[in-house]
Amino acid sequence: MRGTNHMPHKDKTRRVGLARALSKMGYCSRSRAFELIRARRVRVNGTVKSDPEFPVHVERDRIDVDGQAIRPETRTYLMLNKPRGIVTTASDEKGRETVYANISAELPWVAPVGRLDKASEGLLLLTNDSEWGARVTLPETHLDKTYHVQISAIADAALIEKLKGGVRGEDGQVLRVKRAETLRHGEKNSWLVIVLDEGKNRQIRRIFEALGIEILRLVRVAIGPLALGELPKGDYRSLTSREKQMLDRAMKRGD
Protein backbone atom coordinates (compact mmCIF):
# COMPACT_ATOMS: atom_id res chain seq x y z
CA MET A 1 0.00 0.00 0.00
CA ARG A 2 1.30 3.34 -0.93
CA GLY A 3 2.07 5.54 2.06
CA THR A 4 0.85 9.11 2.44
CA ASN A 5 3.40 11.81 3.03
CA HIS A 6 1.86 13.95 5.78
CA MET A 7 3.35 17.41 5.67
CA PRO A 8 3.18 19.36 8.92
CA HIS A 9 0.46 22.02 8.92
CA LYS A 10 1.96 25.45 8.60
CA ASP A 11 0.24 28.03 10.79
CA LYS A 12 -0.13 31.15 8.72
CA THR A 13 -0.69 33.29 11.80
CA ARG A 14 2.01 34.42 14.14
CA ARG A 15 1.96 35.37 17.76
CA VAL A 16 2.23 38.96 18.85
CA GLY A 17 2.21 40.60 22.27
CA LEU A 18 -1.24 41.12 23.79
CA ALA A 19 -0.96 44.93 23.83
CA ARG A 20 0.11 44.97 20.20
CA ALA A 21 -2.75 42.60 19.34
CA LEU A 22 -5.33 45.04 20.72
CA SER A 23 -3.74 47.80 18.66
CA LYS A 24 -3.59 45.63 15.50
CA MET A 25 -7.28 44.80 15.94
CA GLY A 26 -8.09 48.51 15.96
CA TYR A 27 -9.45 48.49 19.51
CA CYS A 28 -7.18 51.11 21.08
CA SER A 29 -3.64 52.49 21.07
CA ARG A 30 -0.85 50.28 22.37
CA SER A 31 -0.28 52.56 25.34
CA ARG A 32 -3.98 52.33 26.26
CA ALA A 33 -3.78 48.54 25.85
CA PHE A 34 -0.91 48.45 28.36
CA GLU A 35 -3.12 50.29 30.87
CA LEU A 36 -6.05 47.92 30.36
CA ILE A 37 -3.87 44.82 30.70
CA ARG A 38 -2.05 46.11 33.79
CA ALA A 39 -5.47 46.84 35.32
CA ARG A 40 -6.37 43.14 34.77
CA ARG A 41 -9.30 44.05 32.53
CA VAL A 42 -8.19 41.81 29.65
CA ARG A 43 -8.75 38.05 29.33
CA VAL A 44 -7.29 35.64 26.79
CA ASN A 45 -9.37 32.49 26.28
CA GLY A 46 -11.11 33.19 29.58
CA THR A 47 -7.99 33.81 31.67
CA VAL A 48 -6.97 37.24 32.98
CA LYS A 49 -3.60 38.34 31.63
CA SER A 50 -1.58 41.13 33.22
CA ASP A 51 1.48 40.89 30.94
CA PRO A 52 1.21 43.23 27.91
CA GLU A 53 3.74 41.05 26.09
CA PHE A 54 1.81 37.79 26.59
CA PRO A 55 1.87 36.10 23.14
CA VAL A 56 -1.46 35.61 21.37
CA HIS A 57 -2.79 34.61 17.97
CA VAL A 58 -5.03 37.45 16.84
CA GLU A 59 -7.03 35.18 14.51
CA ARG A 60 -7.36 32.21 16.88
CA ASP A 61 -7.43 33.39 20.50
CA ARG A 62 -10.47 34.92 22.16
CA ILE A 63 -9.59 38.29 23.66
CA ASP A 64 -12.06 40.00 25.99
CA VAL A 65 -11.94 43.48 27.51
CA ASP A 66 -14.27 44.03 30.46
CA GLY A 67 -16.08 40.83 29.51
CA GLN A 68 -16.71 41.88 25.90
CA ALA A 69 -15.17 39.87 23.07
CA ILE A 70 -12.94 41.97 20.81
CA ARG A 71 -13.17 41.48 17.07
CA PRO A 72 -10.87 43.05 14.50
CA GLU A 73 -12.33 46.35 13.30
CA THR A 74 -12.79 47.12 9.64
CA ARG A 75 -9.66 48.85 8.40
CA THR A 76 -10.22 52.59 8.43
CA TYR A 77 -8.10 55.14 6.55
CA LEU A 78 -8.89 58.82 7.04
CA MET A 79 -7.49 62.15 5.94
CA LEU A 80 -8.02 65.22 8.12
CA ASN A 81 -7.35 68.86 7.35
CA LYS A 82 -5.82 69.66 10.73
CA PRO A 83 -6.44 73.21 11.94
CA ARG A 84 -3.71 75.22 13.61
CA GLY A 85 -3.79 75.24 17.41
CA ILE A 86 -4.67 71.61 18.15
CA VAL A 87 -2.26 68.82 19.08
CA THR A 88 -1.76 65.46 17.39
CA THR A 89 -2.24 63.18 20.39
CA ALA A 90 -5.03 61.05 21.83
CA SER A 91 -4.96 63.02 25.08
CA ASP A 92 -2.95 65.97 26.31
CA GLU A 93 -1.59 66.41 29.82
CA LYS A 94 -2.03 70.17 29.48
CA GLY A 95 -5.69 69.85 28.56
CA ARG A 96 -5.23 71.25 25.05
CA GLU A 97 -7.67 70.36 22.28
CA THR A 98 -6.56 67.37 20.20
CA VAL A 99 -7.26 66.21 16.65
CA TYR A 100 -9.84 63.79 18.07
CA ALA A 101 -12.16 66.76 18.64
CA ASN A 102 -12.54 66.74 14.84
CA ILE A 103 -13.24 62.98 14.53
CA SER A 104 -16.64 61.36 15.08
CA ALA A 105 -16.87 59.19 18.20
CA GLU A 106 -18.87 56.69 16.11
CA LEU A 107 -15.78 55.71 14.13
CA PRO A 108 -13.46 52.86 15.15
CA TRP A 109 -10.41 53.93 17.14
CA VAL A 110 -7.80 55.46 14.81
CA ALA A 111 -4.30 56.77 15.42
CA PRO A 112 -2.49 59.64 13.70
CA VAL A 113 0.11 58.62 11.12
CA GLY A 114 3.09 60.70 12.21
CA ARG A 115 2.21 64.13 13.50
CA LEU A 116 1.89 67.81 12.82
CA ASP A 117 2.88 70.10 15.67
CA LYS A 118 0.36 72.44 17.32
CA ALA A 119 1.19 75.42 15.11
CA SER A 120 1.16 73.41 11.87
CA GLU A 121 -1.87 72.57 9.79
CA GLY A 122 -2.97 70.57 6.80
CA LEU A 123 -3.01 66.94 5.71
CA LEU A 124 -2.93 64.37 8.51
CA LEU A 125 -3.65 60.67 8.01
CA LEU A 126 -5.33 58.56 10.70
CA THR A 127 -5.86 54.79 10.67
CA ASN A 128 -6.45 51.72 12.81
CA ASP A 129 -4.09 49.76 10.53
CA SER A 130 -1.02 50.24 12.71
CA GLU A 131 1.40 48.39 10.43
CA TRP A 132 0.35 50.43 7.39
CA GLY A 133 0.60 53.66 9.36
CA ALA A 134 4.09 52.80 10.55
CA ARG A 135 5.16 52.05 7.00
CA VAL A 136 3.94 55.43 5.72
CA THR A 137 6.28 57.18 8.16
CA LEU A 138 9.37 55.04 7.44
CA PRO A 139 12.16 56.92 5.62
CA GLU A 140 12.73 53.78 3.53
CA THR A 141 9.40 54.21 1.75
CA HIS A 142 10.54 57.61 0.40
CA LEU A 143 7.07 59.15 0.46
CA ASP A 144 7.58 62.86 -0.20
CA LYS A 145 5.80 65.25 2.15
CA THR A 146 4.90 68.57 0.50
CA TYR A 147 4.37 71.79 2.48
CA HIS A 148 3.36 75.35 1.73
CA VAL A 149 5.33 77.58 4.10
CA GLN A 150 4.83 81.30 4.67
CA ILE A 151 7.95 83.04 5.96
CA SER A 152 8.65 86.57 7.24
CA ALA A 153 11.19 87.30 4.50
CA ILE A 154 11.47 87.69 0.76
CA ALA A 155 12.76 84.41 -0.65
CA ASP A 156 15.60 84.88 -3.12
CA ALA A 157 17.78 82.43 -5.03
CA ALA A 158 20.38 82.42 -2.25
CA LEU A 159 17.82 81.30 0.34
CA ILE A 160 16.53 78.54 -1.93
CA GLU A 161 20.08 77.25 -2.42
CA LYS A 162 20.68 77.27 1.35
CA LEU A 163 17.56 75.20 1.91
CA LYS A 164 18.58 72.61 -0.66
CA GLY A 165 22.26 72.61 0.33
CA GLY A 166 21.61 72.04 4.00
CA VAL A 167 21.49 74.14 7.16
CA ARG A 168 23.16 73.20 10.43
CA GLY A 169 20.71 73.22 13.32
CA GLU A 170 21.45 74.20 16.92
CA ASP A 171 22.29 70.58 17.75
CA GLY A 172 24.84 70.43 14.93
CA GLN A 173 22.66 68.24 12.73
CA VAL A 174 22.60 69.17 9.05
CA LEU A 175 19.02 69.65 7.87
CA ARG A 176 18.11 69.88 4.22
CA VAL A 177 15.07 69.73 2.01
CA LYS A 178 14.56 67.66 -1.13
CA ARG A 179 13.06 70.54 -3.08
CA ALA A 180 12.28 74.20 -2.48
CA GLU A 181 10.84 76.90 -4.70
CA THR A 182 8.99 80.17 -4.35
CA LEU A 183 5.23 79.90 -4.67
CA ARG A 184 4.48 83.64 -4.38
CA HIS A 185 5.59 86.64 -2.37
CA GLY A 186 4.38 90.01 -1.18
CA GLU A 187 6.26 93.06 0.02
CA LYS A 188 7.45 91.55 3.31
CA ASN A 189 6.84 87.79 3.21
CA SER A 190 6.89 84.82 0.89
CA TRP A 191 5.16 81.49 0.38
CA LEU A 192 7.43 78.58 -0.45
CA VAL A 193 6.80 75.02 -1.63
CA ILE A 194 9.04 72.70 0.39
CA VAL A 195 9.30 68.95 -0.15
CA LEU A 196 10.84 66.58 2.40
CA ASP A 197 11.71 62.94 1.87
CA GLU A 198 12.72 62.35 5.48
CA GLY A 199 10.91 62.96 8.73
CA LYS A 200 13.18 64.62 11.27
CA ASN A 201 11.32 66.20 14.19
CA ARG A 202 10.21 69.80 13.44
CA GLN A 203 12.59 69.76 10.49
CA ILE A 204 11.26 72.78 8.58
CA ARG A 205 10.89 74.89 11.72
CA ARG A 206 14.42 74.03 12.84
CA ILE A 207 15.83 75.02 9.44
CA PHE A 208 14.27 78.47 9.51
CA GLU A 209 15.11 78.98 13.18
CA ALA A 210 18.76 78.39 12.25
CA LEU A 211 18.41 80.98 9.48
CA GLY A 212 16.76 83.50 11.80
CA ILE A 213 13.59 83.58 9.73
CA GLU A 214 10.13 83.36 11.29
CA ILE A 215 7.58 80.89 9.95
CA LEU A 216 4.15 82.51 9.76
CA ARG A 217 2.22 79.46 8.53
CA LEU A 218 3.14 75.87 7.76
CA VAL A 219 0.62 73.76 5.85
CA ARG A 220 1.15 70.16 4.71
CA VAL A 221 -0.60 69.84 1.35
CA ALA A 222 0.42 66.35 0.18
CA ILE A 223 1.81 63.00 1.30
CA GLY A 224 3.24 61.17 -1.68
CA PRO A 225 0.59 61.27 -4.44
CA LEU A 226 -2.20 62.07 -1.96
CA ALA A 227 -3.15 65.76 -2.03
CA LEU A 228 -5.17 67.64 0.59
CA GLY A 229 -7.25 69.18 -2.18
CA GLU A 230 -10.38 71.12 -1.25
CA LEU A 231 -11.08 69.39 2.08
CA PRO A 232 -12.30 72.17 4.42
CA LYS A 233 -10.23 72.99 7.49
CA GLY A 234 -11.23 70.81 10.45
CA ASP A 235 -13.05 68.27 8.25
CA TYR A 236 -12.09 64.67 7.52
CA ARG A 237 -13.09 61.96 5.09
CA SER A 238 -12.21 58.36 4.27
CA LEU A 239 -9.57 57.71 1.65
CA THR A 240 -11.02 56.32 -1.54
CA SER A 241 -9.84 52.88 -2.59
CA ARG A 242 -7.95 54.54 -5.45
CA GLU A 243 -6.15 56.92 -3.06
CA LYS A 244 -5.19 54.05 -0.76
CA GLN A 245 -3.89 52.07 -3.75
CA MET A 246 -1.88 55.10 -4.96
CA LEU A 247 -0.17 55.39 -1.58
CA ASP A 248 0.53 51.66 -1.47
CA ARG A 249 2.04 51.72 -4.96
CA ALA A 250 4.15 54.75 -4.10
CA MET A 251 5.52 52.98 -1.01
CA LYS A 252 6.34 49.88 -3.02
CA ARG A 253 8.30 51.96 -5.52
CA GLY A 254 10.32 53.27 -2.56
CA ASP A 255 11.27 49.77 -1.35
Q: Which class would CATH give 77-141+226-254? A: alpha beta
Cα–Cα dist 132/117, whole Å:
22
Q: Is 117 a catalytic residue?
A: yes
Q: Three-state SS across 243-254? A: HHHHHHHHHHHH
27 pLDDT higher than 80: yes
CATH of 15-69, one of 3.40.50.720, 3.10.290.10, 1.50.10.10, 3.40.50.150: 3.10.290.10
Amino acid at 149: V
12 pLDDT higher than 50: no
Mean pLDDT within 195-214: 89
pLDDT per residue over 183-204, tens digit each? 998 889 999 999 998 777 789 9
pLDDT per residue over 110-155, tens digit each? 889 988 999 999 999 999 888 899 899 887 887 899 999 999 999 9
CATH of 145-223, one of 3.40.50.170, 2.60.120.580, 3.40.50.300, 3.30.2350.10: 3.30.2350.10
What is the pTM (predicted TM-score) of this model? Answer: 0.78
> Pick the catalytic residue: 117, 156, 171, 197?
117
What pLDDT band is residue 182 in, cutting at 50, 70 and 90? very high
| Number of residues that make up the chain | 255
Domain positions in the chain are 15-69, 77-141+226-254, 145-223
